[in-house]
Chains A and B, each alone.
Chain A
Amino acid sequence: MRAGRSIIAALAALLLSLPLFAQAEGEGSVEGAEAPALDMQEYIFGHIGDAYEWHITTINGKHISIPLPCIVVDNGVHIFSSEKLSHGAAHEGYRIASKGEAHEGKLVRASDGSRPFDISITKNVCGLLIDSLLLIVLILACARWYRRHDYLKEAPRGIAGLLEPVIVMIENDVIKEAVGPEYKKFSPYLLTAFFFILINNLMGILPVFPGGANITGNIAVTMAMALFTFLAVNLFGNKHYWKDILWPDVPIFLKAIPLMPVIEIIGMFTKPFSLMIRLFANIMAGHIMLLSTIAIVFLTVKLGPAVNGSLSFMAVIIGVFLDVLELLVAFLQAYVFTMLSSVFIGLAHQHPETETN
């Protein structure tokens, strides 16, 4: 408690003194070189959006970023570093569209600004690769423990001890409950989905390099996840499931004009669609909330050191709170996605005789 208080006091002192330095520096500089106003849109969208390079930080106006490979399939495969495209430069007939163009921030043909077939390793793809590798290493290390040890006589330790309770919880409380007797077939997919989302959520909270990519808050990623769930539901749905969609137990006039079947078919797509939007919106909103809170520090510089210091202090306190909340959300969204996927799969495997109970 005492240590906590002194940490907060030190933080407050540090933050309160920061604007003083800033101002002293400002006074020394030439007139009119007032710190440029923070472009909130660019600031936030730059952080949550995708990019062709992995921007780490900017020191004295110099961008420090990791260049990533651009891959374009357009009359042959073009592979080049994103460094070549920095500051609007064109390379091999491609450039990054500037502000106000149709495909702003995307790789376009230098000639007419149209999009080629672009499968570049962007920041999110790179993040996905890192996180996936991490996930594979973690899970295989856990599996290795079971291969190497007599798990009937030893309690799991290390990585197995960490992951086993989570795996057991997800499998027993979520998958087995929601999917029903055929859960064994779907459990690897659902567990993979859970851990995949969880690790990407957690890495997204991490502010520096291996983390910090807004992966699960990107709609393409959640769309792919939803697509996999859609396939898992519809490829393995049983006869009863299809009958319920195409010829449900409703009065005949609702089926003669195929009103109910149409609604049910729309339902087939809205279920994964809701999964896509839920995960995307939750994670993106969390990132925006955190970024906005931190932006308070920079936005209030103009209001003088006292206001800036006190508001920065509040912003950091709220930021800590939000970060902890994001940890919860990271787990919760992975859990919810897995649970709803399990429920949808379970609905496709109902048997009429169990339904009546």
Chain B
Amino acid sequence: MSLITPDFGLLFWMVLIFGAVFFILAKFGFPVITKAVQKRSDHIEESLRMAEKARASIDDAIRQREQMLEETRSEQDKMLKEASRTREAILGDAREKAQAEAAEMIRNARAEIAAEKEFAMQEIRSEVSALSVAVAEKVVREKLESTPEQQALLQRYAEEARQAELN
């Protein structure tokens, strides 16, 4: 029967001992542990969330970089195209200018040539006239030397010619 009749002394000590154990462990034992574990699991959760966030921002950065690269590439393309267009334009301009200049020079040369030619013709013409005058003089001098009137006329002509030469 003593097996199932609780002994008072033991009950008394049990209540006392369990009470003391409970007091000590509830004050200095379990709360410390459970709080620490709770804190750590919170910390791990937080870390995971931060890692997720960091990964997202890295992804974002990568995407941004790619976008920037893309933009740069297109910008470069555009600039290259622009440059080649400019070059074409400059070359075209230069060619046009050179052509215009060449044409101008040719025109000038032509004008000069024409002037030169005119001048040469003039000279030839005056040479020819002088020659013809000389020839005519010789011819005339042969025929007119005998008469005094003619002598006088010649004289006059000579004078005129000298006058003209002086002028």
Instruction: Check: B161 CB closer than 8 A to any chain A CB.
Output: no
Q: Given A152-B40, A187-B30, A188-B31, A228 and B18 touching (CB < 8 A)?
A: yes
Tell me if A284 counts as interface (CB < 8 A to partner B): yes
Q: Mark B30-52, 1 if CB is under 8 A from A, else 0.
A: 11111011011001000000000
In the complex, which residue of chain B has the Cβ closest to the Cβ of A152? B43
Q: Is A189 an interface residue (CB 8 A)?
A: yes
| Chain B residues closer than 8 Å to A164, beta-carbon distance | 33, 37
On whether the beta carbons of B9 and A225 are closer than 8 Å, the reply is no
Contact segment of B20-28, B87-95, B99-107, B122-130: B20-28
Partner among A45, A129, A136, A225 whose Cβ is within 8 Å of the Cβ of B3? A45
Cross-chain contact B9 with A192 (CB below 8 angstroms): no
Task: Bits for A90-127, please: 1 = Cβ < 8 Å to B, else 0.
Answer: 00000000000000111000000000011111101100
Tell me which of A122, A132, A192, A218 contacts B26 (CB under 8 A): A192
Given known contacts A121-B13, A124-B10, A189-B26, A49 and B34 CB-to-CB distance under 8 angstroms: no
Known: A136-B21, A224-B15. A122 touches B34 (CB 8 A): no
In the assembled complex, which residues on chain B have CB atoms less than 8 Å from the CB atom of A220? 6-8, 10-11, 14
**With an 8 A cutoff between CB atoms, is A223 at the interface?**
yes
Query: B32–A147 contact, CB under 8 A?
Result: yes
Q: Let me know if A151 and B39 touch, CB within 8 A.
A: yes
Task: Chain A residues near B5: list those with CB within 8 A.
Answer: 219
Bound complex: CA of A117 vs CA of B12, how far in Å?
Answer: 11
A221 at the B interface (CB under 8 A)? yes
Interface stretch of the complex, out of A4-12, A81-89, A137-145, A336-344: A137-145
Do B33 and A136 touch across chains, with their CB atoms under 8 A apart? no
Q: Which residues of B contact A118 (CB under 8 A)?
A: 8-9
Q: Is the CB of A151 within 8 A of B2?
A: no
Which residues of B sit under 8 angstroms from A50, Cβ to Cβ? Answer: 7, 10
With a cutoff of 8 Å between Cβ atoms, the chain A residues found around residue B13 in the complex are 119, 121, 125, 128
Can you list 8 A-B contacts with CB-CB less than 8 angstroms, sorted by A residue number? A117-B8, A119-B9, A125-B9, A139-B33, A188-B22, A192-B21, A196-B21, A219-B5
CA distance A128 to B28 in the complex (A): 20
A225 to B6, CA, bound (A): 13
- Whether A223 contacts B3 by the Cβ 8 Å rule is no
| Residues in A whose Cβ lies below 8 Å from that of B7 | 50, 106, 122, 218, 220
Complex contact B31–A151 (CB within 8 A): no
B10 touches A125 (CB 8 A): yes
Residues A167 and B34 in contact in the complex (CB < 8 Å), given A139-B29, A219-B3, A220-B10: yes
Q: Is A48 an interface residue (CB 8 A)?
A: yes
CB contacts (< 8 Å) of A129 on chain B: these are 17
Main secondary structure of the interface of B (DSSP, over half): helix
Residue of A105, A124, A143, A225 touching B29 (CB-CB under 8 A): A143
Q: Within the complex, which residue of B9, B11, B18, B36 is in contact with A151, where a contact is CB–CB below 8 Å?
A: B36
Residues on A with C-beta less than 8 A from B4 are 219
* A48 and B11 alpha carbons, distance in the complex (Å): 16
Q: Check A142–B6 contact: CB distance below 8 A.
A: no
Flag if B2 contacts A122 (CB, 8 Å): no
Q: Do A167 and B18 touch across chains, with their CB atoms under 8 A apart? A: no
Does A290 count as interface, using CB distance less than 8 angstroms?
Answer: no
When distances are taken between beta carbons in the complex, the residues of chain B under 8 Å from A142 are 29, 33
**Known interface pairs A192-B26, A224-B14, A227-B15; A132-B21 also in contact (CB < 8 Å):** yes
Q: How far is the CB of A47 from chain B (nearest CB, A)?
A: 12
Are B33 and A48 neighbours in the complex by a CB distance under 8 Å?
no
Say yes or no for A328: interface residue by CB 8 A criterion. Answer: no
B17 interface neighbour in A132, A146, A160, Cβ under 8 Å: A132
CB pair A143 B32 closer than 8 Å: yes
* Complex: chain A residue closest to B5, CB-CB: A219
Cα distance, A264 to B15, chains bound together (Å): 27
